[in-house]
Amino acid sequence: MDSKRLAIIAILASLSIGTNYAMISLSNVKLMDLIVFIGGFCFGPLVGALIGIVSWIVYGSLNPLGFSFPIWLSTMFSEVIYGIVGAFMRRSLSPKGLKGFKDERVAVSIYFGIIGMFLTLIYDIITNIVFGYVSGWNILFAIIVGFVPFGFVHMASNAFFFGLGCVPTINAISKIVGGESCDVSEK
Amino acid sequence: MTFLKNKWRILSLLLLLWAIIASFFAGYYWLQYNDIIYRIGGIAIYVNVGIDYGNSTRVWNNDTKALTGMTLFRVTKNIANITYDEATGFGAYIESINGLALNTTHGWVWWKWDTNMLNWTRIDISSDAYAVADDETFLWYYESGWPPPPPPT
């Protein structure tokens, strides 16, 4: 891994951690998932995954809401999903798809919003299963109670953030970094 | 949607999301419902219970409040003074209602008003085995004979 990618991991992880602490009063409303997804989308699965892991290493261990080792591990490794899927999402676009970002901005935003919701659902199911296991609850009960309302708020906020934030953030990153692995800045 | 290789994939994903979210909400409200039922003992329902003493005296207790799952026996116990025997092996056997006791020729039989057939129907189970439903109408009839003749409408 070159120094540029390491710097990108550090910067995006810092941004993710900083926004997490800034939004700590808003339960389950965070920009971290979007940042990890963008990292994976622009710089590949390894970078995306590492942004998620580094973010949770800091935010999970120094968390005013408390610490639980199994939940910490589950959130850390579930967060990786955003980065990895972000990278693979790029491959699901058609060859001329990235250019379509400018022409079909609303459709692209809805697309990213749906992806954000789906990834959040998977993330919440995994972490709620671990939470149910740790707390001794029935697993199905833990999934359902964890979903309403917290999981739903998580999904709705991520749908909003992904829908609204993906395209401008991808474009901004590609312009600043140079777009060597992110050609969405092509005119 | 030219930016996607397969637009149906995203539509399928959306439908899947919808199904899962709806299922979770259904599950959540099911848990809430069961919790409330458990805590309050049931949902309030209203039934009509009449007592016919067999001498042309019929007293109605309309809109008697009950809870879902409550038996006719419990509803009757709430509105009248009853004595009963549980040792018969056929549930709670009513021996007297409001002081009028069974004898060698007469006894208490309960009837349910059939809203479709518009007549009294005898349900051949003990009153403590029948869970009442909202808006049902019952009649305790002091009578003789077997099979017991239906009460006059």
> For chain B, what percent of residues have pLDDT higher than 70?
97
Query: Structural domain of residue A122, as residue ranges?
Result: 3-185
Q: Which residue has the tokens 């997804």?
A: A37
Residue B118 pLDDT grade (very low, low, confident, very high; cuts 50, 70, 90): very high
The answer to whether position B153 is within a domain reads no
State the average pLDDT over residues B30-39: 88
Q: Which of A78, A70, A79 is nearest to A13 (CA)?
A: A79
Query: Are both B33 and B105 inside the same structural domain?
Result: no
B5, B20, B27 ranked by CB distance to A121: nearest: B20
What pLDDT is stored for residue A50 in this prediction? 96
A96, A104, A144 ranked by CB distance to B24: nearest: A144
Distance between CA A145 and CA A141 in Å, rounded? 6
Query: Structural domain of residue B19, as residue ranges?
Result: 1-40
**pLDDT above 70 (res B2):** no
User: Mapped to the 3 state alphabet, what secondary structure does chain A carry?
Assistant: CCHHHHHHHHHHHHHHHHHHHHCCCCCCCCCHHHHHHHHHHHHCHHHHHHHHHHHHHHHHHCCCCCCCHHHHHHHHHHHHHHHHHHHHHHHHECCCCCCHHHHCHHHHHHHHHHHHHHHHHHHHHHHHHHHHHHHCCCHHHHHHHHHHHHHHHHHHHHHHHHHHHHHHHHHHHHHHHCCCCCHHHCC
What pLDDT is stored for residue B89 in this prediction? 78
Overall domain count for chain B: 2
Burial of A87 (0-12, 13-18, 19+ CB in 10 A): buried
Distance between CA A127 and CA B148 in Å, rounded? 64
Query: Are both B36 and B49 inside the same structural domain?
Result: no
- Identify the bridge partners of residue B67 per DSSP, sorted by sequence position: B44
Query: Which residues does chain B have within 8 Å of residue A118's beta carbon, measured at their own beta carbons?
Result: 13, 16-17
Exposed e or buried b per residue across A26-41, where buried means at least 16 C-beta atoms within 10 angstroms of its C-beta: eebebbbbbbbbbbbb
- What is the domain-level CATH number for residue A98? 1.10.1760.20
Overall domain count for chain A: 1
Q: Which of A137, A42, A124 is nearest to A81 (CA)?
A: A124
Report H helices in chain B. Answer: 7-40, 72-79
The answer to whether position B149 is within a domain reads no
Residue A184 pLDDT grade (very low, low, confident, very high; cuts 50, 70, 90): very low
What pLDDT is stored for residue B129 in this prediction? 94
Query: Are both B88 and B101 inside the same structural domain?
Result: yes
The verdict on pTM exceeding 0.90 is no
Tell me how many degrees the CA angle B145-B148-B149 measures, rounded to the nearest 5. 105
B2, B28, B31 ranked by CB distance to A100: nearest: B2
Work out the minimum CA distance from A6 to partner chain B, whole angstroms.
30
Query: Are both B66 and B126 inside the same structural domain?
Result: yes
* Strand ranges across the sheet with B119-122: B58-67, B44-52, B137-144, B106-114, B119-122
Contact call for B20 and A94, based on CB within 8 A:
no
What pLDDT is stored for residue B29 in this prediction? 93
The answer to whether position B151 is within a domain reads no
Query: Are both B26 and B56 inside the same structural domain?
Result: no
User: Could you tell me if B98 and B46 are in contact, meaning their C-beta atoms sit under 8 angstroms apart?
Assistant: no
Q: Which two tokens stand for residue A157?
A: 């906020």
